[in-house]
Amino acid sequence: MDQGSGPVSHSRGRVGFWAALVAPPGGRLEASIRHLKSRLWLLLVLALVCSVYVYFVSAGGRRHWPVYGNYLDLQADAFRSGHLYLPLEPAPELLRAANPRDRVHIRHWALDLSYYRGRYYCYWGPTPAIFQALAKTLLGIKRSIGDQYIGLLSACLLSLSGALIIERMWRRLFGAVPLAVLAFGVLAFAFANPMLHNVSTAGTYQSAILCGQAWLVSGVVFAFDAVWYAGTSAAHRQRQLLAGLCWGLALASRVTVLPTIAVLIGVTALAEGWVDERRWFKSFLNALYLGAPVAIVGASLLVYNKLRFDDPLQFGLNLQLSGYPPMRFERQFWLPNLYSFTLRPFVESCKFPYLFQRWRLDPADVLPKGLAVPAGYNTDEPVVGWLRAVPLTWLLGLAFLFVPRPGALWLRHRRVYLWCLASFCAMATLSSVMAVGSYAVTMRYLSDLTPGLVLLALLGAFALRAHRFGLMAPKLVSSTIVLLASATIVLGLILGYQGYGAHFRKYNPKLDAKLVKAFSVCGDTNPKPPRYWP
């Protein structure tokens, strides 16, 4: 029977997310200690990951961390004060202007905030600001602290959630994969570009994206357990509700994840209900439990918009005071953006850190010959394509090649595998739908794609290693996976070192000079690096 079959059935019955790192069900001390010891390596890896994040965000351990934005922090202070508008007073000239969005008033703008009826608002979702407000209240913090902390904590939560999904795939689907391969997979997920790039310069924009992805992936952990776990109805419902709650928080961080969440709800409801005698009714019921928290959060967002902008469908983007033209989403930008997201190159140099992003490029110099430059297409900000910067993704096609064959013995194995395949594909594509249609792309938008791409690549890598082809040459296959994961980690570190604004060079010039002197391979020459800062 499906509920009892599968290659690693001993893991059945474990409760989800946080308990997975602490203790199995039952509460027995001896079992808890064994469980904790078996996950000790994972705790150590995650401690290493978050330590690296702290080192990068602090520009090499500086006591006073660089601040790249404080709009989320201001929104947190607004919530604590009992109102929705930011505690910023617009300039009198802006208040008197007949058209405050006219660029003649740009010197009076608080750039990239939404302006409505004499008040400033954030167009980013309220989730990160709510958590920042709670943290500041609990810790008694009254001063401005910037948005880098919520970015750092979101990155740690994202890496934790990704690690739990990877560990679950390994333990429950691919028992033949060595532990070392698993560890490198977890590190690749944590450091794949643009994770460190965003963490280093975690301003408002980056922190909002990281927060959205952190809750999205956290929900996938609970959904994995709901699809795998063969237990009581109450346990199923608990996991479904927790998955929906996390996805609701993701929606309230970054509304562009809505298509991804919709697909995740659908495939999770269907995968869990498929083995029931009344599969369609059970799937419908599953979707209700998964979707109820998302619907409640979505309705709350509409009320939030109504209170701010007198329009439930106005999220503030169209009211933004931006130095760039109003945001447009058109089909003519699809091909240039797909190329940029996938294949745009970096620039090599003999100077440390050797591979550089590029700012302020001419569109004709970005796109390959034969690909027309659309009118109004902007290439000011840097992007390095994921096929170049995340080599582990070269294996993602294997996930489609090694789908388990149908069979009673492997029914649950196949069902969970197909759920992983569909879920990771949705995460790797749908969250970037709006970005692909925009007149400009930038490195931080890759965070909407990379978690799903890396999970999909690891699904394929593990499937190859556990397949008979992988077992014929286990050392070769394992070494290839570890090599690609290592290259992904190194490239993530290199691009993260730069950040959006030459992070270490700007905020820790002494350390940067030492590293450049020690590790550059230019001989007697001293070439000028490309412009990798604004």
* Residue pLDDT, tens place only, 253-295: 999 999 999 999 999 999 988 888 888 999 999 999 999 999 9
Task: Count CA atoms closer than 13 A to 196's CA, side-chain side.
Answer: 33
**In this structure, what token pair is assigned to residue 290?**
């998964």
Collect the ranges in the chain with pLDDT lower than 70.
1-28, 32, 230-231, 407-410
For 288-389, where are the E strands, in sequence order? Answer: 347-348, 355-356
pLDDT digits (tens, 9 = 90+) for 416-472: 999 999 999 999 999 888 899 999 999 999 999 999 999 999 999 999 999 999 999
Can you give the pLDDT at residue 452?
98
**Alpha carbons 266 and 250: distance in angstroms, whole number:** 17
pLDDT at residue 133, as a whole number = 97
CA end-to-end span of the chain: 59
Q: What is the pLDDT of residue 408?
A: 53
pTM metric for this prediction: 0.92
Q: Quote the CA–CA distance of 165 and 88 in Å, as a whole number.
A: 41
- What gap in Å lies between CA 226 and CA 214, rounded to an integer? 19
Euclidean distance between CA atoms 297 and 243, whole angstroms:
13
**Which residue matches tokens 């994969």?**
177
Residue 9 CA, distance from chain mean position? 30
Residue of 294, 304, 284 whose CA lies nearest to 260: 294
So what's the pLDDT on residue 409?
Answer: 54
Query: In degrees to the nearest 10, what's the CA dihedral of 46, 467, 267, 193?
Result: 40
Q: Is 419 in contact with 229 (CB distance < 8 Å)?
A: no
Q: Which residues contact 489 (CB under 8 A, 6 or more apart)?
A: 184, 187, 188, 191, 192
Q: What angle do CA 84, 87, 89 make, to 5 degrees?
A: 120
pLDDT of residue 27: 52
Q: Which helix (H) or strand (E) holds 340?
A: helix 334-343
Residue 18: per-residue pLDDT: 43
Confidence (pLDDT) at 247 = 98
d(CA 406, CA 388): 35
Is residue 193 within 8 A of residue 54, CB to CB? The reply is no
Secondary structure of residue 226 in the 3-state scheme:
helix
Can you tell me the distance from the alpha carbon of 166 to that of 455, in angstroms, rounded to the nearest whole number?
A: 7
Q: Report the relative pairing of strands 114-116 and 355-356 from DSSP bridges.
A: unpaired
Tokens of 255: 């509304």
Contacts of 20 (CB under 8 A, 6+ apart): 14, 39, 164, 221
Q: What is the DSSP string of 387-451?
A: HHH-GGGGGTTHHHHTPPPP-STTHHHHHHHHHHHHHHHHHHHGGGHHHHTBSB--GGGGGGTHH
pLDDT (tens digit per residue) in 163-215: 999 999 999 999 889 999 999 999 999 999 999 999 999 999 999 999 999 99
Please name every residue paired with 115 in a beta bridge, in sequence order, or none if there are none.
Answer: 120
Distance CA 188, CA 476 (A): 19
